[in-house]
């Protein structure tokens, strides 16, 4: 498979970074969706890692709410950081296509209900004492399994009603700890090559530029508009996961049938 052009890499990460700058998520989904056509899904995931990690760290550190978030949501972040490794270890025991499709369906359902219901009920302070670590463990584990941190972490942060800027920064912290875990885990398996790592590093600059541009646009949105934009983005993300998984499974089925046909012909 040929390497993508630098212009393609820059354009993809500029767009993906802009989406992330507006709603606080979406860089992996947008970049993987576009780069898969040039690289295939496995290499596209590796190419996404450095832009995702750097933009997540930037998103986590900029905003002025980091200390408050670490104090209030420490159980959530610690659970996610520790359990991403658990999910990676379990990857071989699950059908990842089915799991990804299920994640997409749940995200779509959440977003659709959120668009229909004006405001989700906010958990009480007493409830969050056990909800924070519980959702952190679930988020880290599912991120390790599927490579996606949106379920249930992003949905839980949306339900907490942190406010536009705090929510975006909290997503940056969550995605930082989980992306770093994925980067180390994939590197230990030999998936990250020097060539892909170089292209990934090149994608950091346009991703940061897009993040800055998207952030400027986010400031123009009211809290209500921001909530609606996030829910629409989640709805599209969920639909992408379901459709992409269906196409991958269909393609795999066709390849399997073709292999069986060739084997049958040779055995005759």
Assess if residue 1 is contained within a domain. Answer: no
Assess if residue 136 is contained within a domain. Answer: yes
Asked whether 189 and 89 are in contact (CB, 8 A), the reply is: no
d(CA 130, CA 28): 29
Assess if residue 29 is contained within a domain. Answer: yes
- The model's pLDDT over 25-62, given as tens digits with 9 standing for 90+, comes to 878 878 877 887 777 666 777 888 899 889 999 999 98
Q: Whole-model pTM? A: 0.74
pLDDT category of residue 2 using cuts at 50, 70 and 90: low
- Asked whether the CA dihedral 169, 173, 179, 183 is positive or negative, the reply is positive
> What is the per-residue pLDDT for 14?
94
Quote the mean pLDDT of the chain: 80
Assess if residue 123 is contained within a domain. Answer: yes
Residue 237's domain spans which residues? Answer: 6-267
d(CA 242, CA 234): 12
CA distance to 25, 57, 121, 187, 224, per residue, from 230 (Å): 9, 20, 17, 32, 10
> What is the per-residue pLDDT for 6?
84
- Please choose, from the candidates 21, 18, 48, 22, the residue with its C-alpha nearest in 3D space to the C-alpha of residue 33: 48
d(CA 257, CA 260): 5
> What is the per-residue pLDDT for 181?
77
Assess if residue 162 is contained within a domain. Answer: yes
Assess if residue 103 is contained within a domain. Answer: yes
Structural domain tally of the chain? 1
- The model's pLDDT over 181-238, given as tens digits with 9 standing for 90+, comes to 777 776 666 666 788 888 899 999 999 999 999 989 888 888 778 878 888 887 887 7
Assess if residue 139 is contained within a domain. Answer: yes
Cα 164 vs. chain centroid, distance in angstroms? 19
Assess if residue 201 is contained within a domain. Answer: yes
- Please choose, from the candidates 144, 101, 138, the residue with its C-alpha nearest in 3D space to the C-alpha of residue 238: 101
């Amino acid at each position: 498979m040929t390497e993508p052009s630098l212009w393609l890499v820059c354009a993809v990460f500029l767009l993906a970074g802009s989406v992330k700058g507006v709603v606080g998520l979406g860089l992996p989904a947008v970049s993987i969706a576009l780069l898969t056509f040039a690289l295939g899904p496995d290499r596209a995931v590796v190419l996404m890692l450095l832009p995702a990690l750097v933009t997540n760290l930037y998103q986590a550190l900029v905003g002025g709410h980091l200390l408050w978030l670490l104090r209030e949501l420490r159980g959530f972040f610690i659970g996610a950081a520790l359990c991403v490794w658990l999910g990676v270890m379990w990857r071989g025991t699950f059908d990842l296509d089915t799991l990804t499709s299920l994640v997409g369906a749940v995200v779509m359902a959440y977003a659709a209900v959120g668009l229909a219901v004006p405001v989700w009920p906010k958990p009480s302070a007493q409830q969050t004492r056990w909800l924070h670590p519980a959702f952190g463990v679930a988020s880290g584990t599912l991120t390790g399994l599927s490579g996606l941190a949106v379920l249930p972490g992003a949905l839980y942060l949306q339900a907490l009603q942190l406010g536009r800027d705090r929510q975006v920064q909290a997503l940056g912290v969550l995605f930082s700890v989980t992306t770093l875990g994925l980067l180390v885990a994939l590197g230990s398996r030999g998936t990250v090559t020097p060539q892909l790592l170089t292209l990934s590093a090149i994608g950091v600059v346009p991703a940061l530029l897009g993040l800055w541009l998207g952030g400027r646009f986010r400031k123009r949105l009211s809290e209500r508009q921001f909530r609606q934009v996030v829910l629409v983005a989640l709805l599209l993300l969920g639909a992408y996961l379901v459709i992409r998984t269906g196409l991958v499974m269909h393609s795999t089925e066709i390849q399997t049938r073709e292999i069986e046909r060739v084997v049958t012909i040779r055995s005759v």
